[in-house]
Amino acid sequence: MKQIQAGVLNVAYRDIGPADGPTVVLLHGFPYDIHTYDSVADLITAAGCRCIIPYLRGYGGTRFISADTPRSGEQAALGADLLALMDALNIPQAVLAGYDWGGRAACVVSALWPGRVSGLISCEPGYNIQDIAHSANPTEPEAEQRLWYQYYLHGARGYAGLQANRDAFCKLLWKLWSPAWEFTDQTFAATAQSFQNPDFVDVVTHSYRHRFGLVDGDPQYAAIQRKLADQPCISVPTVILAGASDGVTPVQEERQALRRFTGPVRRSILEGVGHNVPQEAPAEFARAALSLVRE
């Protein structure tokens, strides 16, 4: 494990594979961590690539440099963190690969700084930039039910519940979101250590409140968020991976899934795979990453 100062964070990350190989940045989601990519990284580095696998803000060994920095989980902050990490590591361009929060960070950088991105892997919903202005619009009841955990975290009860029961809460989400994935207690425990980060609860609850317009963002990211409010298109070569058994983000209709991609894009639906695509289907995820490296 390495550490580097990048923007407002001291980022903990893995750096594996040949230093002179094409770079692939692998970004985890909530509530997961870098262990998501253990098998994926082995496959990618065996093909001659360098893998950078950071803990996102609020997870694992990543820490805020200043106690005064807001513990924001907003999408603009995640994108800024990724760009700052690439700058700190002197990575001019890379394949960005992620899902959930990590996919959002990758989409933000791909949309706003496409020159830094040689390819994008984003799991369903593919275009993972939040439309906060319309977040209060209700959707069908089944979708509302799937978002119960977000609504729970909007209030003080959810904050206290996550603080007191973070492992049990996150393990429940693993089970609900990946019903066919038979992970072991040991697999979960390896990741659950990351939830003990002192900023985990603050960052997570802020994320799920900000995306519904319930709290303000960090002012230093306001300019980025204004650009994201326009729902910018993504022009870089993209692979979208959709888990057919995803319990929180069901497979979309094709036209909806691709509507904000203006560059070359292809989409694969993975049967029997849930929300945590790289850990459930590492071979497919690695193949997608390597296909972008070779393009």
Q: pLDDT per residue over 43-68, tens digit each?
A: 999 999 999 999 999 999 999 999 99
Please state, in angstroms and rounded to a whole number, the distance separating the CA atoms of residues 9 and 62: 7
Q: How many Cα atoms within 13 Å fall on the side-chain side of residue 198?
A: 4
Number of domains in the chain: 1
**What is the band of 10 on the pLDDT scale with cuts at 50, 70, 90?**
very high
The per-residue pLDDT for 295 is 57
**293 pLDDT higher than 70:** yes
Percent of the chain scored above 70 by pLDDT?
A: 100
Using CA atoms, how far apart are residues 76 and 68, in angstroms rounded to an integer? 18
Q: Residue 65's domain is classified under what CATH number?
A: 3.40.50.1820
| Residue ranges making up the domain that contains 89 | 2-294
Residues 55, 211 contacting (CB under 8 angstroms)? no
Largest CA distance in the chain: 50
- Distance, in Å, from the CA atom of 120 to the CA atom of 138, rounded to the nearest integer, reads 30
Q: Are 23 and 292 in contact (CB under 8 A)?
A: no
Pairing of strands 9-16, 238-243: unpaired
For 89-104, what is the mean pLDDT? 98
What's the chain's Rg over C-alpha atoms? 17
Judged against a pLDDT cut of 90, whether residue 277 lies above it is answered with yes
Q: Rounded to a whole number, what is the distance in angstroms from the first to the last CA of the chain? A: 30
H or E stretch covering 53: strand 50-54
